[in-house]
Structure 1
Amino acid sequence: MPLASRHLVPPMPNGLIVLLLSLLLGLQPVTTDLYLPALPVLRGELSASMAQTQLTLSALLLSFGASQLVWGPLSDRFGRRPVLLVGLSTYVLASLASTVAPDIGWLIVWRTVQGAAMGAAVMCARAIVRDLYQPLQGARVMSQGLSGLGVIACLSAPAGGLLTDALGWRYALLALGIFAAASLALVIWRFTETVPQKNANALRWASLWTTWRHIAAHRTFLAFSALSACSYAGLFTFLAASSFVFIGVLGLSKTLYGAVMAYNSVAYIVGTFVCRALLARWGVRRAVALAAGLTLSGGTLMAGLSLTGWVSVAAIMVPQTLFMVGHGIHQPCGQSGAVGPFPQAAGAASALNGFIMMVFAFAMGQWLGNHMDGTVLPLTLGVWFWSTLIALSAWTLVQRHG
């Protein structure tokens, strides 16, 4: 149950909290995964280069990360509800504008606005967990919300493939706005403010600087942020390169590609269930250490198969399954662990953690935009690289400071 000491009456039932978390966190895979099958098509229709096409993802993620540094303190000062209302409304408007973008430049602009608006939803979701729960239970609740995210991600890529095939890529972008509008309606209808006491000093520069410095210097925050950022960067490597590899290199149709991505999400959902079982039995440190073994095994196997000439859907997806199960454990533990030490500054801590994750993903997106060479190697070697860093973070930093 939510913390009774922080609220005389629990503001929302647990089921509603998990549903809201699923929708708010799920806005991220909807924004990326549903859009992925459309990338090769819109690249051709808008006469865009590979680097420009990748920028519609990487610019979105950079604005997503940077905006959280603004949304976090705003939500600590004014509460989660007004930030959610502004952010989701802006997202809906940006989605509508992106569907009528006349060229790749305007599409990049509106995707950047989408990313900034998405930051409000995802940042608030992480902060809400800290508002209502202690760190260990928060990791369990976060894993439930991320299970919902996994279901949404599972449906997103197939839906994107079907919409792109049947109606065109612009309708895939329109679907993003419809999802956000439904989430906005639920927030208006059922969401109750979760901030126990608004921080009147949250936006004062001296106080803000002190808060950022305290969070950034905290070893527990750094350990879990390293874990969550490397894990997300590994996932983003797969997502950003996947449509070009599976459709362009391996010859899958957009519908079959959607099915592959749905399978990827199922593996992630399994990981979130495994996460809850491991947390109940062994706690956070042991859980992430065991998950790191899966992650490193998957990344190493994927790289080894591709380097020895085994190039097929199975040669990528079997190792990717191991990576995604590990990802389903690392993300709940990493995101809740990074925010856990800061009950009075959960918005700021969530924002800084999100910013770090998106900087890692943006850098990888830029690298992929310049190194996609018509082979599977940028994807497979990229996942291997991040798998190694995930294991190092889980086996050293989290064990010492988590």
Structure 2
Amino acid sequence: MSASDQAVTERRPADWVIVLALGLLMGLQPITTDLYVPALPQMQTALGTTPSGAQQTLAVLVLAFGFGQLIWGPVADRLGRRPVLIAGLSLFVLSSLLTMLADDLSVMLLARAAQGASLSAAVVCGRAMVRDLYVPADGARMMARGLTGLGIIALSGPILGGLAAAYLGWRSTLALVGIAGAMTLVFVVTMLPESLPSHRRQSGTSIPTMLRDWWTVSKHPTFRAHALLVSSSYGGLYVYLSCSSFIFINVLGSSRQAFGAYMASISLAYLVGVAICRRLLPHRGLVGTVRVAGLAAGGAALWMLLMSLLTATTSFQPSAAWILPGMWLYGCCHGINQPCGQTGVIAAFPRHAGAASALSGFMLSALAFVIGSALGLTMKHPGWAQSIYPLTLGMAAGALMTSWVAMGRVQRDGTPPHTAH
């Protein structure tokens, strides 16, 4: 262990504080995206828009989330994590209030964009905080523990969202998002200390400085391998978030409560993946653990392709029970990939963890926005909008890409440095 790593060990707060912080900060993202998904068909009707228009409320959030990280990351490297968290979470609460009050699509899109931009502060600082306080090997295990909390939040969110949408209406789901943001803000203000010491902060955040930092980060093969991993893994997940409510509720005839339970089961599969990750990391290491996830992703792709092929070539009419196993397997591999990938993108950059986290998050969000735009076009086609293909083929593509990256790029370039430099 280097002298700087020894200093990190001596000054960090209790592990349970960091685990809880990671669960809340990283968990705010699935709360913002998942909790209102069961209410999307209701929102579509209330705002007088189309399924494609309703999907745009997720697409603009994700795009703003990506661009916001490019700003918050370098600022957090200069000012520290705590002031950025307080500012971002305060804006998140205000924008959440605006989403709850919006009465037309344009106001809703503006509010969701503000929500995504402010949400990015929580996520980028949460990831960077791990590198501030832990060496890479310990950071992966800590991230896995924190993402267990995220999984629990993601497990309860869809169930709560389905019940709220069914009994209180779609606006109640957005109110719950704002409440979660307010609770996280209170925790940060009262419990979470600053993780980035002043001597490791950057001296400036000018555009040339940021561009230079991003260029340095982007050239590193370990960063590229893990950034591709988290982006491709989230890409398939975004397909599920974006179109699953319309397909399960409108095409397969599921109730909102049942759909919330289906989403919760996928979150449970994610939790299983995180538990597998925690068990494998001490024995297989980060790269070996990702290899297991790559195999799982390949299995998920095959299942979803099989469902698509049977539907297209036979009289087979799939139900939710037939589609869910592939989604469970994908959720499990996502639970393995996220702790490893989120740690891998920042492992080589103890002095630029915010910039590395921001650039990775932007890549993830840009890919999700492209996928969302493509899905919006397919959902406008009557033949596809009333079929399972946007979900099954979209998730199969994400799973195949994830498997390719996990079994190739990460195996070659994914080992982070053992010492800070």
Q: TM-score, normalised by structure 1?
A: 0.97
Equivalent residue, structure 2, for 1:51: 52
Identify the match of residue 392 of structure 2 among 380, 384, 387: 380
Identify the match of residue 406 of structure 2 among 382, 394, 399: 394
* Equivalent-residue separation in structure 2 for 1:337 and 1:64 (angstroms): 20
Q: Identity of counterpart residues, as a percentage?
A: 43
Distance 1:41 1:317, change over 3 A: same
**Per-residue Cα deviation, 1:76-116 (whole angstroms, up to 9, x for no partner):** 00000000000000000001111110201100100000000
Q: Does residue 1:317 correspond to 2:324, yes or no?
A: yes
- Which residue identity is paired with 1:366? S
Equivalent residue, structure 2, for 1:205: 207
CA contact (8 A) 2:8 2:132 kept: no
Q: Which moved more, 1:286-295 or 1:205-214?
A: 205-214
Q: Does residue 1:356 correspond to 2:363, yes or no?
A: yes
Equivalent residue, structure 1, for 2:382: none
How far residue 392 of structure 1 moved from its aligned partner, in angstroms, is 1.0
- Which residue identity is paired with 1:337? G
Give RMSD over aligned pairs: 1.3
* Equivalent-residue separation in structure 2 for 1:265 and 1:387 (angstroms): 17
* Equivalent-residue separation in structure 1 for 2:208 and 2:34 (angstroms): 40
Alignment map for 1:69-148 (pairs within 5 Å): 69-148=70-149
Count of residue pairs the alignment pairs up: 400
* Equivalent-residue separation in structure 2 for 1:9 and 1:283 (angstroms): 25
CA contact (8 A) 1:302 1:315 kept: no
- SS of 2:351's equivalent in the other structure is helix
**Per-residue Cα deviation, 1:188-238 (whole angstroms, up to 9, x for no partner):** 001100002342424033332221110011111001100110000111111
CA contact (8 A) 1:41 1:169 kept: yes
* Equivalent-residue separation in structure 2 for 1:6 and 1:394 (angstroms): 33
* Equivalent-residue separation in structure 1 for 2:309 and 2:301 (angstroms): 12
CA contact (8 A) 2:55 2:243 kept: no
- Which residue identity is paired with 2:177? L
Q: Which moved more, 1:321-330 or 1:337-346?
A: 321-330
- SS of 1:308's equivalent in the other structure is helix
Identify the match of residue 225 of structure 2 among 198, 223, 226: 223
- Which residue identity is paired with 2:285? G
Consecutive unaligned residues in structure 1, runs of 5 or more: none
* Equivalent-residue separation in structure 2 for 1:236 and 1:368 (angstroms): 10
- Which residue identity is paired with 2:179? I
CA contact (8 A) 1:245 1:374 kept: yes
Equivalent residue, structure 2, for 1:347: 354
CA contact (8 A) 1:127 1:350 kept: yes
How far residue 6 of structure 1 moved from its aligned partner, in angstroms, is 2.9
How far residue 240 of structure 1 moved from its aligned partner, in angstroms, is 1.0
Equivalent residue, structure 2, for 1:177: 178
CA contact (8 A) 1:87 1:120 kept: yes
**Per-residue Cα deviation, 1:346-391 (whole angstroms, up to 9, x for no partner):** 0000000111111111111111111122111111001111111111
**Per-residue Cα deviation, 1:156-180 (whole angstroms, up to 9, x for no partner):** 1111111111111111101111000
- SS of 1:102's equivalent in the other structure is coil
Consecutive unaligned residues in structure 2, runs of 5 or more: 380-384, 415-421
CA contact (8 A) 1:6 1:132 kept: no
Q: Does residue 1:35 correspond to 2:42, yes or no?
A: no
Identify the match of residue 243 of structure 2 among 241, 244, 265: 241
Equivalent residue, structure 1, for 2:308: 306
Q: TM-score, normalised by structure 2?
A: 0.93
**Per-residue Cα deviation, 1:21-62 (whole angstroms, up to 9, x for no partner):** 000000001001101011000101111122211110000000
- SS of 2:16's equivalent in the other structure is helix
CA contact (8 A) 2:41 2:51 kept: no
**Per-residue Cα deviation, 1:257-288 (whole angstroms, up to 9, x for no partner):** 10000000000000001001111111111111
- SS of 1:62's equivalent in the other structure is helix
